[in-house]
Structure 1
Amino acid sequence: MEDIETHLASFRLAVKEAGDSVRQLKADKAPKIDVDRAVTILKARKKELEEAEIRLAPKEIDRGKLETLLKQRFFYDQSFQIYGGVTGLYDFGPMGCALKQNMLNEWRKHFILEEGMLEVDCTSLTPEVVLKASGHVDRFADWMVKDLKTGDPHRCDHLIKNAAEAMIASKKTPEPVKEELREILARLDGFDNNDMQAVLVKYNMKSPAGNDLTEPIAFNLMFPTQIGPTGDQRAFLRPETAQGIFVNFKRLLEFNMGRVPFAAAQIGNGFRNEISPRQGLIRVREFTMCEIEHFVDPTDKSCAKFAKVRNYVLTLFTANDQMNGSAPIQIPIGEAVDKKIVDNETLGYYMARCHMYLLKVGVDSKRLRFRQHMDNEMAHYAQDCWDAEIKTSYGWIECVGNADRACYDLKQHSLCAKTELVAQKDLPEPKFIDTCEAVTNMPIIGKTHRKNAQKIHEHLSKLSFEQAVAHSKELEANGKLTITVDGESFELSKEMLSFSREEKKICIEEFTPSVIEPSYGIGRIMYAVLEHAFRQREGDEQRQFLALPPIVAPIKCSILPISAQTQLVEIIEAVKDNLRAHELSFRVDDSAGSIGRRYARTDEIGIPFGVTVDFESEKLPWTVTLRHAESLRQIRLKVEEVGETVEALVRGRLSWEQAEDQSTFLEVQKAYPTITRERIGRAICQLRRDFGKWFTTRHGGNLLDQLAGVVDDQLSNSDGDAVHLGSGMPSVLVHGDLWTNNLLWALNGQRGDTDQLLAIIDWQNVHAGNVAEDFVRLLGSSCSPRLRRGGLHRFVSHYLSCLSLEMRRKGHFALPYTHQQIVAAYEKMFGQGFRLEN
């Protein structure tokens, strides 16, 4: 880490110098062109710092392997794949759909239920007039160019960025040109079509196919449509869910009995017709959003529940730190609000709650930060904005926006819809104000202006105090008044209109609420969670799995019968019923594969817990093994305890360590000699059922029966176990105290032929540290040459799966050898003509 910071020091210094220059120019009230130029340089230095941080950071995951797993297990895939697919559109499969729904369920609990929010579900089709008022029709656009030869569209700023970065990286590009390109990249966000066209021409930039480009044209990112068959009413698919809440503000305020503050929330899809979507779920054309609009008095943005999160620590990347080239800071949110780093308590509260939610669903806290918008990024009306950014293999990705939007949205809709979207509050003390109101004589106005009379009346009733005073003076001076309503002029006389001016006592005041808006992109969060959950088993890069938090895991528990034998069916059904009673999702894998292979399959799709039904389960009371996928540790439970235990683990009421310690959930025997004998004995019995014919002797006996007898009769010496435990080695199969010599031959208590007898090797005294070779000697003397030649890999894999199940059932250690070690030992020994001798 220190080495990385050493490399970054020069980049941080360059950012600080550029930031200081911007501050000084603003303090000196320098011309705007000079400030803009300094800001351009600052942005270029910031970008270089960010790219250096990403380049120097250690690689977290192999994205290719993750994407392969997600597609193979159908978490999601490109839509309409059999027709070639559509870029920017994705279908979620069973696992992805369940994961997404679990994340949404947790969001609803975490915010809507916890905060008592008012949930709405508004239409996706939105009339043009609504989005005109919000500014989306005029400003929600990107500049687009097309390949003149192929017609392929490209987002112009992205094309320029990619071409400029390639030229900067090229050794053939002169240094002065590189400096020009760096400045262009820094200013690119503010370029219009003329600026972009000039860059394309000056640097002869082409399409990715190497062809000439059209001039940039504005492309609105909303999907246009029409309502009704005539096409008269234009509409769009909504680009966000927020507008549905704003236009229903009056109804929501009434439902909340006129009280402010209150919050409304909506979960739904948004649509953005991206020119060139990329990066999988990061930039798509249809996406699920969760948005909150918290309405608050603009003069009082305190939060009643802020004390609960005051000491909660967040990683904040402030605008000031960005200008200084400094690293993000960790600070309690209460201190950040007190110091006005974060503008107000309500915004700070939602940032803390946002952090809690993201951690709950599986985001790594070390790869999560809140970045404050700089002045040149923020809308003119916004008070403060913080993006929750999550680090992925694509870099830092904005996943949640937390913005104080002031009163902008409600004022815009009030103006365009000619509807007062205001709230009221009781004044602490009455106050007296001057009023001036229009008094209309409707019969005379109606006689003169007929159908326009009502329109005139409504216009006059909404005049502000200043407008009414001005009209009153004009009417008094001229004896008449001309007003304009909807572009049409009307003349009013003193007989039609008068003005009443008086002082009124006011106890209630109207105000337009400010809006604090947290906006969550569920697809982006979901992808970040999958990246952060991706793991590889230590020592086996081919064993990949997802360590998803149980609360959002698509399936909570797997059920794996050790065998397809009918006597286990009733136990399996009892486990299924118990899980259903606790509303837990489960998946049964009773395929013919080994238990290890089936474990791997369930691990890949992120199932956190696994129930194994084995032959020990048949004993009364019925018991099963519960496996923790991430740690590979196991405990034994009664069947009737499975649902209760798994539910407690999923809900977070119980940790895995607590489950191991609590006797109500766990029956652990600490006596290693006894459980060693039981483990090996059960594994041998399983081999006897599945591979018995391979161990048949010429006389009709079975070597595995002999092995089971030896285990049952002689593997019980506690002194041998104590030696192994004291040396840190698990006690498996071997005990030097059985015989003083290195090999034990046992067949009805007498010595026998090496082709038919069992050897148990003492690794402690003879082959210390080479457990695999000892195990090979054991099996080499037990199984037939036919098995060694034709079924070695299958046999070893099956045996290790059975033994692993028994070893991990109650112990906390791993097998002393792997499949590869055993096979290598076989090849080594039998390649040298190995034969056991006394």
Structure 2
Amino acid sequence: MSTFPTEVPALRTAVDDQARHVRSLKEAKTAKEALQPEILRLQQLKTALEAAIAAEAANAPKNVLADQRRSLEDLLKRRFVVGQAFEIYGGVAGLFDYGPPGAAMKDALISLWRQHFILEEGLLEIECTCLTPDPVLRASGHVERFTDFMVRDTVTHECYRADKLLAEHVTARALPNETNPTRKARLEQLVHDVDTYSQTELGAALKEAGVVSDAGNQVSEPFPFNLMFATQIGPSGLIPGFLRPETAQGIFVNFRRLLDYAGGKLPFGAATIGQAFRNEIAPRSGLLRVREFTLAEIEFFVHPSREGRHHSKFGSIRDLKVPLLTKKAQETEGDDTVIMAIGDAISQGIIDNETLGYFIGRTALFLKAAGLADSRTHGPTPQDSAFRFRQHRSTEMAHYANDCWDAEIWTSYGWVECVGIADRSCFDLGRHSEKSGSELVAYERFDEPKDIEVTVFKFDRQGLGMALKKLAKPAIEFLEATSDDARKAYAAELESKGFITIRVKPEADKKKKKDDPESAEEPQEVDVQVPKQYVTIATETKRIHGQTFTPSVIEPSFGLGRILYSLLEHAYYVRGGEDEARAVLSLSPLIAPYKVALLPLSANDAFSAILGEIRRSLSAVGVSCKVDDSGSSVGRRYARSDEIGIPFAVTVDFQSIENRTATIRERDTCTQIRVPIAEIAKLCYDLSNGNVMWADARATYPEQQQSASDSVGRKE
């Protein structure tokens, strides 16, 4: 086998060169026997690159070690950013409580999301109930299809999510011990395709990889497990329901009210923020896979035509470059991410339409505003980009979706899906219209009347009544109520088969219902065949001034808990020497739990009045602060505020009494400036909201030299 470079930059170049070589061979339609060795070499190069990156990370400075996750989680627990729910009773897997800093961070993230999307885009925000009746989720498909595949340990009966167990087993057990290149490439392929497997394919993959449970026992064949929490609504228990697995259905079932509120015009968008619940099989990965979580979802309703998917503000993000992992790259070339302008991606047919592309761009800007950079400066593993947009492969795409992208963030757990952005076509409103009997449609008024050709059915009512009995009337009503497109389809079926099959509900027995209304059963829907001899198909010209249609929907869905945890991983680092190493959460001021730490230099009573004055002025302009007047040194109190991500610290000292000034310290550089007390609130407000940068503040106000005890190290 050919030798490969050992340095990461050289390996990256080799991977890029080999990928281009493979693409050129494919374009030239090279014979399979000649192409296969080149593809194998590409896979081997990628494996070598991953190994080199891992080796580089292992030898990197302490603040970028892969095991920093454990240190971060210790910090989050120690400072009660988050904690295991019901811990005094042993805890419950997949359930977490947010402590004061965590709740404040989450609230800040929600506020940023609301500002960035709801206010900026003029969305209609609603709040809907978490309890959802069975018919709603049956119509949406959740009752039948909202499942994961599960396996059980055949000895202990412990449950595992089958795809995660396969990926973990191959990554942690099989790959490190595999020396055969062909076998290794096959194992890597199993992990790569794990999200696309059917139940049968997943069972075969588990056997092929020799997957066993954590206890080393054989596991069962995979079987579907519905992830929804079932319940009963009302004291009788006769109304089955579920805790909602997503928040979107509340928007769909309120569509008519929202359309009316929007003045009957499309496009318009609705948004909702709230709790969702999924009964995860085996919650792992800390805060990334939980059973109760917060979603922020948008349903943006557009005309179903391609022209209807143009977006009036698309020009604002047309030239924005984002990292894209296309389905073509995943299916034919590997996991090669490209940086591309959104406008170019649409013109090349990579992203399906402008509205979908617009929300991909707005999502990228939101993630950057929250604190995710284009490149990593510290973290568990160095990566070219902190996040990427991965397109669903053909095997992942829902049958009703035109296109779908996931915003994935790099963490110590690998790439984690945090946002889904999908063009769901007319599926949701169509299903709820069909199942509820309510027309969830919009109306388009034409500038000028149009003459259109329509298909009409004319019935031999007497003959059909004799043939179908009580089913004749509901069959005629059903066919007369269908859309023109549906009538055309039925007409084609009538011509080809000699009959059409529809599903209708027979008329109730009026006499029985009148005589004994309580015992009269509601008729059930049945299939009925309408013979051709009783139906005449005609085409008529009809002048219309407008038309009704079922809108399509673009749906961006944000997992706020996953985004927050990813931000914490990206923000976490350790500075200082081993004897005085101190953890820091370098959070964006927009996400920080408190914007300012207020510190008196000591316990001197003379500082109290000034401290209270500054606190009140900060509160008046909406800047949150945390007072730390403990007896610890100022340096230790700085460290405590750094640990929970507070970006600025205001210290009142003896000079504050003399000339009514105080120092402001910035968390990441550890530099300080001295500012008049009267100007502190406005400056902190501007710094916290990004109106003024710290470098500008340092240029405006005199710098304050600090003692060695005030800080350990700095991040320049």
Shorter-chain TM band: 0.7 to 0.9
How far apart are 1:474 and its partner, in Å?
Answer: 13
Correspondent of 2:273 among 261, 267, 271: 267
Correspondent of 1:508 among 534, 542, 546: 546
| C-alpha distance 84-511 of structure 1, shift in aligned 2 (>3 A) | same
How far apart are 1:589 and its partner, in Å?
Answer: 1.0
Corresponding residue for residue 325 of structure 2? 317
Corresponding residue for residue 113 of structure 1? 119
Equivalent residues in 2 for 1:7-46, closer than 5 Å:
7-8=11-12
Please tell me whether the aligned partners of residues 325 and 389 of structure 2 are also in contact (alpha carbons under 8 angstroms): yes
Corresponding residue for residue 770 of structure 1? none
Corresponding residue for residue 359 of structure 1? 368
Please tell me whether the aligned partners of residues 550 and 650 of structure 1 are also in contact (alpha carbons under 8 angstroms): yes
SS at match of 1:266: strand
| C-alpha distance 214-518 of structure 1, shift in aligned 2 (>3 A) | same
| C-alpha distance 148-14 of structure 1, shift in aligned 2 (>3 A) | farther
Does residue 552 of the first structure (1) align with residue 581 of the second (2)? no
Corresponding residue for residue 55 of structure 1? 54
| C-alpha distance 57-398 of structure 1, shift in aligned 2 (>3 A) | farther
Corresponding residue for residue 631 of structure 2? 592
Q: Kindly provide the CA deviation profile for residues 568-626 of structure 1, in whole angstroms up to 9, marking residues without a partner as x.
A: 22111111111111122111111111111111111111111111111111125x22112
Does residue 519 of the first structure (1) align with residue 557 of the second (2)? yes
Corresponding residue for residue 660 of structure 1? 698
Please tell me whether the aligned partners of residues 44 and 185 of structure 2 are also in contact (alpha carbons under 8 angstroms): no
Correspondent of 1:415 among 407, 431, 434: 434
| C-alpha distance 319-178 of structure 1, shift in aligned 2 (>3 A) | closer
Equivalent residues in 2 for 1:179-194, closer than 5 Å:
181-182=187-188, 184-186=190-192, 188-194=194-200
Please tell me whether the aligned partners of residues 8 and 53 of structure 1 are also in contact (alpha carbons under 8 angstroms): no
Q: Which amino acid aligns with 1:645?
A: L
Please tell me whether the aligned partners of residues 406 and 418 of structure 2 are also in contact (alpha carbons under 8 angstroms): yes
Corresponding residue for residue 341 of structure 1? 350
| C-alpha distance 628-462 of structure 1, shift in aligned 2 (>3 A) | same
Q: In 2, distance between residues paired with 1:195 and 1:377?
A: 14
Q: Kindly provide the CA deviation profile for residues 83-123 of structure 1, in whole angstroms up to 9, marking residues without a partner as x.
A: 11111111110000000000001100110011100111122
Q: Which amino acid aligns with 2:355?
A: T
Q: Kindly provide the CA deviation profile for residues 636-661 of structure 1, in whole angstroms up to 9, marking residues without a partner as x.
A: 22222221111111111111222233
Does residue 134 of the first structure (1) align with residue 173 of the second (2)? no
Corresponding residue for residue 651 of structure 2? 612
Does residue 308 of the first structure (1) align with residue 316 of the second (2)? yes
Correspondent of 2:681 among 624, 630, 643: 643
How far apart are 1:525 and its partner, in Å?
Answer: 0.8
Corresponding residue for residue 716 of structure 1? none
Percent of pairs with identical residues: 43
| C-alpha distance 242-599 of structure 1, shift in aligned 2 (>3 A) | same
Q: Kindly provide the CA deviation profile for residues 34-65 of structure 1, in whole angstroms up to 9, marking residues without a partner as x.
A: 9xx99x99998899589558636636352222
Correspondent of 2:245 among 239, 246, 251: 239
Q: In 1, distance between residues paired with 2:54 and 2:184?
A: 20
Q: Structure 1 length as normaliser, TM-score?
A: 0.70
Q: In 1, distance between residues paired with 2:52 and 2:106?
A: 31
Does residue 68 of the first structure (1) align with residue 68 of the second (2)? no
| C-alpha distance 499-63 of structure 1, shift in aligned 2 (>3 A) | closer
| C-alpha distance 593-197 of structure 1, shift in aligned 2 (>3 A) | same
SS at match of 2:148: strand
| C-alpha distance 589-303 of structure 1, shift in aligned 2 (>3 A) | same
Please tell me whether the aligned partners of residues 162 and 202 of structure 2 are also in contact (alpha carbons under 8 angstroms): yes
Equivalent residues in 2 for 1:144-293, closer than 5 Å:
144-166=150-172, 168-169=174-175, 171=177, 181-182=187-188, 184-186=190-192, 188-198=194-204, 205-293=211-299
Q: Structure 2 length as normaliser, TM-score?
A: 0.81
Q: In 2, distance between residues paired with 1:522 and 1:350?
A: 16
Q: In 1, distance between residues paired with 2:252 and 2:616?
A: 46
Does residue 384 of the first structure (1) align with residue 392 of the second (2)? no
Q: In 1, distance between residues paired with 2:208 and 2:69?
A: 37
Q: In 2, distance between residues paired with 1:501 and 1:647?
A: 69
| C-alpha distance 414-616 of structure 1, shift in aligned 2 (>3 A) | same
Q: Tell me, which stretches of 5 or more residues in structure 2 are unaligned?
A: 376-385, 506-524
Q: Which amino acid aligns with 2:432?
A: H
Correspondent of 1:98 among 94, 97, 104: 104
| C-alpha distance 526-166 of structure 1, shift in aligned 2 (>3 A) | closer
Q: In 2, distance between residues paired with 1:470 and 1:334?
A: 37
How far apart are 1:409 and its partner, in Å?
Answer: 2.1
Please tell me whether the aligned partners of residues 311 and 334 of structure 1 are also in contact (alpha carbons under 8 angstroms): yes
Q: In 2, distance between residues paired with 1:249 and 1:176?
A: 54
Q: Which amino acid aligns with 1:529?
A: L
Which protein is bigger by CA-based radius of gyration? Answer: 1
Equivalent residues in 2 for 1:455-604, closer than 5 Å:
458-465=477-484, 485-486=504-505, 487-488=525-526, 502-539=540-577, 542-604=581-643
How far apart are 1:347 and its partner, in Å?
Answer: 1.5
Q: In 2, distance between residues paired with 1:358 and 1:286?
A: 22
How far apart are 1:17 and its partner, in Å?
Answer: 7.8
Q: Which amino acid aligns with 1:354?
A: T
Please tell me whether the aligned partners of residues 11 and 48 of structure 2 are also in contact (alpha carbons under 8 angstroms): no
Please tell me whether the aligned partners of residues 43 and 186 of structure 1 are also in contact (alpha carbons under 8 angstroms): no
Corresponding residue for residue 10 of structure 2? 6
Q: Which amino acid aligns with 2:54?
A: R
Please tell me whether the aligned partners of residues 347 and 402 of structure 1 are also in contact (alpha carbons under 8 angstroms): yes
Please tell me whether the aligned partners of residues 13 and 325 of structure 1 are also in contact (alpha carbons under 8 angstroms): no
How far apart are 1:212 and its partner, in Å?
Answer: 3.6
Correspondent of 2:667 among 602, 620, 629: 629
Q: CA RMSD in A?
A: 4.3
SS at match of 2:151: strand
Q: In 1, distance between residues paired with 2:326 and 2:489?
A: 47
| C-alpha distance 412-650 of structure 1, shift in aligned 2 (>3 A) | same
Instruction: Tell which has more relative contact order, 1 or 2 (C-alpha 8 A, sep 6+).
Output: 2
Q: Which amino acid aligns with 2:317?
A: V
Q: Tell me, which stretches of 5 or more residues in structure 1 are unaligned?
A: 670-674, 680-798, 815-838
Q: Which amino acid aligns with 1:312?
A: L
| C-alpha distance 85-482 of structure 1, shift in aligned 2 (>3 A) | closer
